Structure 1
Amino acid sequence: MICDKENGQLMKFIRRNIFSALLIVILLAMVFIPDAKAFFIKGLMEIGFYKPDVEAPKENVAGLNGIRFKDVNGNLVDLGDLKGKVIFLNFWATWCPPCRAEMPSINKLHSHFKNDQDIIFIFADADGDLTKSTKFMADHQYSLPVYKVESNIPEQLFTGALPTTVIFDKQARLSFKHEGVANYADQKIVDFLNRLISAN
């Protein structure tokens, strides 16, 4: 009889605290499992959060010459050589949950413009581990070209916050900068890039 009473009290305690326990488990998963946090952030993106602001004014950067990136095949890209093209540059890392959360939207954006010769996409792995970042892209079936940084990056472009995205117009002016996660599949970004591509 005492055993049945204790079991009944234990079951009542469990039922009363199951929501709290589940909440704690979810919070711990988000802290310790990057994909869990990325999944949560991605869900917020899909319901309308994290829309990037594309109304930033254009500003000149003190020369893009010498800002270099290297791909997995050893090919070097110098931003100074890309004048006349729109440049979409994203700094990210495989371990960064907000980076992982925005990757599907960036992949969609890249797919939209992949045949356009007037825009270049550079995805700079902040850790510089191209083997790991290339595997990450393949495992997630993303077609994004990964690079590692091969020069100093001006703080005007990248202060170390991940993810960071910058977009240059055809005159090599900084036309967009966003630190933190954003939904790059948003139509405002597509329209913004089309305007930059169409401009002389």
Structure 2
Amino acid sequence: MTKFLKTSNLLNGLFFLAVLVLLFNPSAKAVMIRGLMKVGLFQPDMDMSVEKSAAVPDVIFQSTDGRKIHLSDLKGKVVFINFWATWCPPCIAEMPSINSLYQKLKNNKNIVFIIVDADRNFSKSVSFMQKNRFTMPLYQLASNVPPELVSNAIPATTILDKTGRIVFHQNGSADYSNPKILEYLNRIAK
């Protein structure tokens, strides 16, 4: 019996249990990814030499209060768009950093945040945002979305400049609390 209670066996058992939790618990995965973000991994690729794309076709989003906004009506503003889902650990992991960025920029009238529910279960996303005390504006799609904004992978984040052209696109999670993002958004919003 004491053979099984050796320290190495207990540590192996705890390690195996931790791996199982990470495999089957989205919240645990999100916590792990968020921790990796804090040590410098998952930084957004801020390659400012990216060639601007053509203007993105119009997309319609609907807010939690039923108000509809057209992407085409936001020309003249920088638009930060993030597609996410409540079941997606990388999405959950990056949400605090997006909320932090939003808090720093919410009073800048030249920058608009559109956080898009990809769940197709808006009430679940609203509940998630409230539970986590995220104050970013939440939207759902009210039209088709062009592949330039989101492909088959989420999270997906796109930044449009004032002319409506894509100047940044990130598939996968990233730490948006990076000061370079804040500086970049403030610069292109002038």
Query: What is the TM-score when the length of structure 2 is the normalising length?
Result: 0.95
What residue ranges of structure 2 are gaps of 5+ in the alignment?
none
RMSD, matched Cα? 1.3
2:4 to 10, 23, 26: 10
Give matches, 1:104-143, under 5 Å. Answer: 104-143=96-135
Query: Is 1:77 the equivalent of 2:85?
Result: no
Per the alignment, residue 57 of structure 2 pairs with: 64
State the match for 1:155 in structure 2.
147
Does 2:79 align with 1:87?
yes
Answering whether residue 98 of structure 2 is matched by residue 103 of structure 1, we say no
Is residue 60–residue 172 contact of structure 1 (8 Å, CA) maintained in 2? no
1:9 and 1:130 map into 2 onto residues whose CA distance is 53
Mark the CA change 1:184 to 1:41 in structure 2 (over 3 Å): closer, same or farther.
same
Q: Is the 8 A contact 2:79 2:112 kept in 1?
A: yes
Structure 1 position 32, deviation (Å): 1.1
Contact preservation (8 Å) 2:83, 2:156: yes
Q: Larger C-alpha radius of gyration, 1 or 2?
A: 1
Q: Which has the higher helix share?
A: 1
Which stretch shows the higher mean deviation, 18-27 or 159-168?
Answer: 18-27
Report if aligned partners of 1:71, 1:130 keep a CA contact under 8 Å in 2.
no
Superposed displacement of residue 60, structure 1:
2.7
3-state secondary structure, aligned to 1:9: coil
Say if 1:58 and 1:173 are closer, same or farther in 2 by CA, change over 3 A. Answer: farther
C-alpha contact (below 8 Å) 1:90/1:122 kept by paired residues: yes
What is the aligned length?
189
SS of alignment partner, residue 43 of structure 2:
coil
Contact 2:55/2:164 (<8 A) preserved: no
Check conservation: 1:89, 1:166, Cα contact below 8 A.
yes
Percent of aligned positions that are identical:
42
Structure 2 residue identity aligned to 1:80 = S
- 1:38 counterpart = 2:30: yes
Structure 1 residues 62 and 119: alpha-carbon distance in aligned structure 2, compared to 1, 3 A threshold: closer
2:131 and 2:141 map into 1 onto residues whose CA distance is 22
The answer as to whether partners of 2:57 and 2:146 remain within 8 angstroms in 1 is no
